[in-house]
Amino acid sequence: QTDIRRTLLEMFTNAEGEYVSGQRISDLLGCSRTAVWKHIEDLRKEGYELEAVRKKGYRIVTKPNKVSTNELLLGLHTKKIGQNLHYEETVDSTQKIAHRLAQEGAVEGTVIVAEEQTAGRGRLARKWYSPKYTGVWMSIILRPAIPPQHAPQLTLLAAVAIVQAIQEVTNVLPDIKWPNDILVNNKKLVGILTEMQADVEQVHSVIIGIGINVNQKLEHFDSDIQHLATSLSIEEQKEVNRAALMQAIFLKMESLYEDYLENGFGLVKHLWESYSISIGKRIIARTLKATIEGHAKGITNDGVLLLEDDNGTVHHIHSADIEL
């Protein structure tokens, strides 16, 4: 069923807005005219606006403002990431679903995407606002053979892939703030939440949750984050295609991930440092136990932040909120 729709959409895309006759469609799909009509009806239900003209055939007038499985799979040239896709209209949290699927043996590269999250979460059980049709709310399941203490490296890998994808799809030039924020002009555009299933020696799965504000207007943000959040469309001053952005992320992530598995953290570390605004500056790090002020010297090979306080002591920060 998905394959037929995929072929159908490819056909319309190749037609570039011109009509495709019902006969041609039924020939190519190898199904009856009645079956063609049913597939067209299904596309309409998904939000595609299709025009049917006697003797000419069908053409696509507008695509839905949704991110459907079809939109995401059409022209996706990855080997793994995004190829096994779970698309949902509304979920509590894509992280929750990803954990369940990972436990049930979901293949590496499985992605859970939702149009809306009713209980999207950040770190430390904080809330992540995920309003309908406006953002990218997704979780990616990876299964690297690495020790658990290396898992934070994948947060940094995801951040680099997202920054590169944003630069490819828009004119926005974002910065990374250690460990998991992507900012534009000091406002939060993206949050990343990496969780894992592991035993002491080995990771079973790493679940990378990615939240990107894409098409929200300022007034769409809840008042408690209005002063600290931004979206791509606010920065770009036009709507941004979410499916194209996700595809770009899948591609960038896959190539960085392949390099990471083969050659280690070196390339990601180098790229991450080039996008980071927290390194080489005076910062304040609030951990659960303490607040430390000092000079951010860099990150270790495990992705741990090195912070030198005024007494010259270098602290290894595993998790904190950073103030610049």
Residues that bind ligand BT5 (CB under 6 A): 93-95, 117, 120-124, 126-130, 137-139, 180, 188, 191-193, 209-211, 213, 225, 229
Per the annotation, does 126 bind a ligand? Answer: no
Q: What are the counts of helices (DSSP H) followed by strands (DSSP E) for the chain?
A: 9, 14
Per the annotation, does 132 bind a ligand? Answer: no
CB 255 within 8 A of CB 142: no
The residue among 216 and 247 lying less far from ligand BT5, judged by its C-beta, is: 216
The residue among 50 and 225 lying less far from ligand BT5, judged by its C-beta, is: 225
Residue 123 Cβ, how far from ligand BT5 at the closest point, in Å? 4
Q: Outline where 62-143 has alpha helix (H).
A: 69-73, 94-103
d(CA 81, CA 87): 14
Residue 314 Cβ, how far from ligand BT5 at the closest point, in Å? 24
d(CA 139, CA 195): 10
The residue among 124 and 288 lying less far from ligand BT5, judged by its C-beta, is: 124
Residue 163 Cβ, how far from ligand BT5 at the closest point, in Å? 15
The residue among 14 and 223 lying less far from ligand BT5, judged by its C-beta, is: 223
Contacts of 251 (CB under 8 A, 6+ apart): 76, 77, 78, 81, 165
Residue 214 Cβ, how far from ligand BT5 at the closest point, in Å? 10
Residue 130 Cβ, how far from ligand BT5 at the closest point, in Å? 6
Q: What is the dihedral of CA 140, 142, 146, 151, to 10 degrees?
A: 0
d(CA 14, CA 29): 15
The residue among 22 and 135 lying less far from ligand BT5, judged by its C-beta, is: 135
Question: Residue with the closest Cβ to ligand BT5?
Answer: 191
Per the annotation, does 44 bind a ligand? Answer: no
Q: CA of 55: how far to CAs of 27, 42, 145, in Å?
A: 16, 21, 57
Residues making up the binding site for biotin: 117, 121-123, 188
Residues making up the binding site: 117, 121-123, 188
